[in-house]
Each structure stands twice: as structure tokens, then as C-alpha cells.
Amino acid sequence: MKDKNDINIEFDLLLQNLNQGYVALEPIFDNDNIIDFKFIKINDFGAKILNTTVENLLGKTLVEYDPSLKDRALIKALKEVFLSSKKRTIKGHFFKDTFPNIDLYLELNIYKSLDFVIILF
């Protein structure tokens, strides 16, 4: 029987090799309010879609990556999923400040997992 560490390694390999973007985001709190989310995992495919590298995103917040997201639907949807644990799908043009010359339309499927949220896109 496999131990928990082996299962986590296999799961990480699966996520890394998905043919879709995968991002795990940790909420950032100011007192009891979620104000942003920090990239804690991203697969290569997701980084490629976002026209960047994994290393460039890890540890940054969404607002650091794209300031236009501060008061937008994405942050609100992430908060809602984190607080309610209900899956949510949103579609739209995200990362407008980061990609001003690219029409990047994404469908984001958002899930809660333990103490973070996951986006598949």
C-alpha cells in the first residue's frame, strides 16, 4: 500500500502533466477579510497560457501579477468559493493589464481544496 507522501507525489505529477492550466492560490487576509490570493502552485501548461513562467508566478499575488484584478470578478469569485466551498465557473477576459494587446478569454473552473483554491482553465 502506498503511503500519503507517494500519493501526493503522484498527484503533483498528474497535475503537472495536465493538458490544461492548473493554479493553486492561497488567500491573503487583512484581519478577517480576504484581500488577495498568492500563487502557491502552477503547472507549466498554465504558465504557458498566461505567457509567463512558473518561477515568475510562485509567491506573487494575483494583484501583483495583474493590478487590474483588484476589484474584479475573479477575486470576488475566489473569495466566494473559498468561503462557501461551492464550485464556481466564470468566463471572461482576465489579465488586461498584463496582456493589453492580447484578447485572452478564459473559462475558469474554481474549487476549494483544504486551505487554498484551485483554478482549472
Reduced DSSP (H G I as helix, E B as strand, rest coil) percent helix, strand, coil of the chain, to 5: 35, 35, 30
- Cβ atoms of 22 and 120 within 8 Å: the answer is yes
Query: Average pLDDT for residues 93-108, to the nearest whole number?
Result: 72
State the maximum Cα–Cα separation within the chain, in Å, rounded to a whole number: 51
pLDDT for the residue numbered 82: 98
pLDDT for the residue numbered 54: 94
pLDDT at 80 over 90: yes
**Which among 27, 39, 90 has a CA at the least distance from the CA of 66?**
39
pLDDT for the residue numbered 24: 96
Query: Average pLDDT for residues 77-88, to the nearest whole number?
Result: 96
Query: Average pLDDT for residues 53-74, to the nearest whole number?
Result: 88
Domain 4-120 fold: Beta-Lactamase (3.30.450)
CA torsion sign, 66 to 79 to 5 to 16?
A: negative
Q: What are the residue boundaries of the structural domains of the chain, listed by start?
A: 4-120
Per-residue pLDDT of 13-28, as tens digits, reads 777 777 899 999 999 9
